[in-house]
Structure 1
Amino acid sequence: MDKTVVSVIVITYNSSQYIGETLDSILNQTYQDIELIISDDCSTDNTISICENWIQKYSTRFRDIKIIAATRNAGIPANCNKGLAACNGDWIKLIAGDDILMEDCIASNLAFVRLQGNEDKLFVVSDMRSFLDWDYQAEEHVSAYNINIFGENIDVKEQYQESLKGFFGNSPTFFVHKKVYEITTYDESYPFMEDYPFVLNALKNGIKIHYLKQETVHYRIRNNSAYNGDSQLIFPNFYLRQRIFDKKERLPNLSFNERMLENTIYYKKMFFDKFKLNSRKKVNIFLYKYSDVLNPFYIYYRLKHIFE
């Protein structure tokens, strides 16, 4: 019998509308030895009571269940770290309180890290299926971005440099060994984002990231969320907050051309915001899409990738 304990940490904040689906997806995992941690960031709705009622029904399914409730809202990274502090598992799976694990998510990740000759795998990212909260029929496959960086001949330093250019994954698809969290945790200085800083810190500390080419998670895209913004906008306003992170963590480590490309994209968004061109009208979308032909750094970047 498999003795590997997997801790699933559910990160919640006002998740009452969706938390039942999320918990059911963990209940229905084909893998059995699971510790369930629910880490709540001071919800003001009835998320906690829903979780407590659910636990009363299904507590015997799990090795252990804990609810960690915050007394103040501290942000996503702090909420993740609270959950991590309560874990006893060998492998850790974080999921938001509105996403859904596929039934074989944990079993597939464990099988992948146990492949012969792959005992060094400590950090795995996989594919997922995204779906629109306002349109359940609009599911689509989402591969990890820039999968070329996961090749056997790519070392961790190359992964780090490529990851600086753009984030390759999505945190619900991560499957991480506890050894990684002994080296680095979630950076609470960026309360609005947890995954990208964590990835860069892991890579800087020599933790290579491996790719499981399989869908393991249903990822819910919610209208008016911090990341996705209003569906009526061309791009969400999250770019303003991410700029804080970019200026400190990314831009100083990019080449001149890469920095200029990032800056021109940022100021293009500011321009569209300032002149109220961010609404999803056909003319605005056309201007936003094709304005890049006037950007020499974008042209250089595209040509470089074509001829490399």
Structure 2
Amino acid sequence: MEQPLVTVIVVSYNHSRYIRENLDSIKNQTYTNIQLIVGDDASPDNSADVIEQWLKETQYPAERNFHTNNTGLATMLNECIDLAKGKYIKLIAADDFMHPEAIEKSVSLLESLGDEYGMAFSNTHTVDDNGSIIGDISNYDSVKGMDPHTFKRELLKENRIPALTVLLKTDVIKETGKYDTKLIVEDYFRWLKISEKYLIAYIPEKLAYYRRHPENLSKIKAERIEMEVLLLQMMFDKDGILKDKINSRTHRYYLFGKLFDEYSHAYSAYPYRTKRLDIAIRNKLPTLLYKIINKIAELKM
């Protein structure tokens, strides 16, 4: 098999403890035609120094994008993608790492498929802070054998793609635009945009290692992610398949005063929104008044 150039982008923020394992997994790939780009988003630990030391020791060629001020993941990704020269792009956080055959098998699959496919992903192991394999965080293999057109609908219902396993066609990632700096779930937004125009291939093998540690997710961040997922689902739900979920969750957010402006605007444009909830949000009705209106409407039913 010919080896088209693959750009691997490693992004780090306070990952000094894990970086070597990540970079070693790139160096040990069975696929050798790799452009490595390493980025650090002004980590307060010594992540950048660890990267530099590894590059010096291994003499592995790489382009660097080290920030002096923290800008956020999306900005880092956009800058690194601008440096990419490969036909394919692999994005991976520095605390995760790859199976030796990850790139070879992903490239082989995409090279064998037609232009209608924009990306491929695989199953993944989950590892703890020390790199030991632990229980899976999700049953990604549930999509094994699924028709790729059916997968489009399933992807809208839930993000079923572990980002560390993905291989993207460079022209597809550029066609679908920059990463949104306002979103935490910038990867899910990318998958949905790609899914609008292209099919997505799945490899039923565990070709990566996702590291689960305390810094992965806070309660506040988890709540924000849940709301952002709904925001994206509203944007891409053309047939109303998620209307019950979206209206129910929006109702709950409104009652607890958790709506932010971007979400409210998106809901007002959602074709399958609940009328009285929409009126309440638009007019910023007090929650007590909204509850009374709801109660009256239920009594009339």
Aligned AA for 2:121? V
Of structures 1 and 2, the larger Rg is shown by: 2
Where does residue 221 of structure 2 map in the other structure?
Answer: 238
Relative to structure 1, the CA distance from residue 185 to residue 70 in structure 2 (aligned partners, 3 Å threshold; closer, same or farther) is farther
Contact 2:185/2:229 (CA < 8 Å) preserved in 1? no
Query: CA RMSD of the aligned region, Å?
Result: 3.1
1:178 maps onto 2:162 in alignment: no
Encode CA deviations 1:213-246: one digit per residue, 9 max, x unaligned.
11110110112423xx4xxxxxx44342124424
Structure 1 residues 105 and 260, CA, compared in 2 at 3 Å: closer, same or farther?
same
Matched residue count: 256
Deviates more, 1:160-169 or 1:117-126: 117-126
Unaligned runs of 5+ in 1: 230-235, 272-308
Specify the alignment match of 1:121 in structure 2. 117
Structure 2 counterpart SS, 1:38: strand
* Pair 1:95 & 2:92 matched: yes
Structure-1-length-normalised TM-score: 0.72
**SS class of match (1:31):** coil
The alpha-carbon deviation at position 100 of structure 1 amounts to: 0.9
- Aligned 1:180-219 pairs, distance under 5 A: 180-204=172-196, 206-219=197-210
Question: How many Å separate the matches in 1 of 2:253 and 2:128?
Answer: 24
Which structure 2 residues correspond to residues 1-308 of structure 1 after superposition, within 5 A? 2-59=2-59, 61=60, 64-115=61-112, 118=114, 120-133=116-129, 136-140=132-136, 143-144=139-140, 147=143, 150-151=146-147, 154=149, 159-204=151-196, 206-226=197-217, 229=218, 236-251=219-234, 253-254=236-237, 258-262=242-246, 264=248
Task: Give the drift of 1:260.
Answer: 2.9
**Conserved? CA contact 1:186–1:194, under 8 Å:** no
Q: Corresponding residue for 1:295?
A: none
CA distance in 2, matches of 1:257, 1:216: 32
Hey, what's the Cα distance between the residues in 1 that align with 2:72 and 2:45?
A: 17
TM-score by length of 2: 0.74
Q: Secondary structure at the match of 2:216?
A: coil
- Describe the SS at the equivalent of 2:140: coil
Deviations 1:104-134 (A, max 9, x none): 111111222233x546533001111112226
Q: CA distance change for structure 1 residues 34 and 203 in 2, over 3 Å: closer, same or farther?
A: same
- Residue deviations 1:56-114 (CA, integer Å, cap 9, x gap): 1222x4xx411101232222221111111111111111110000100111111122223
Task: Give the conservation status (yes or no) of the 8 Å contact 2:185–2:228.
Answer: no
Query: Are the equivalent residues in 1 in contact too, given 2:30–2:101 (CA < 8 A)?
Result: yes
Using a 3 Å threshold, how does the CA distance of structure 1 residues 146 and 77 change in structure 2: closer, same or farther? farther
Gaps of at least 5 residues in structure 2 are 256-301
Deviation readout 1:20-62 (Å, 9 max, x if unpaired): 1101111111111111100111111111111111111222x4x
- The whole-number CA distance in structure 1 between the counterparts of 2:58 and 2:116 is 34
**Structure 1 residues 244, 142: closer, same or farther in 2, change over 3 A?**
closer
Aligned residues with identical type, % of pairs: 24
* Structure 1 letter corresponding to 2:242: E
Residues 15 and 8 (structure 1), Cα distance of their counterparts in 2 relative to 1, 3 Å cut? same
31-40 vs 256-265, which deviates more?
Answer: 256-265
Instruction: Give the aligned partner of residue 260 of structure 2.
Output: none
1:194 deviation in Å?
2.3
TM-fit CA distance, 1:190: 3.0
Amino acid paired to 1:13:
Y
Task: Measure how far apart 1:143 and its partner are.
Answer: 4.4
Are 2:16 and 2:50, in contact at CA under 8 Å, matched by a contact in 1?
yes
Q: SS of 1:209's equivalent? A: strand
Distance 1:196 1:24 in 2: 27
CA distance in 2 between counterparts of 1:4 and 1:252 reads 35
User: How far apart, CA to CA, are the structure 2 residues paired with 1:190 and 1:146?
Assistant: 31
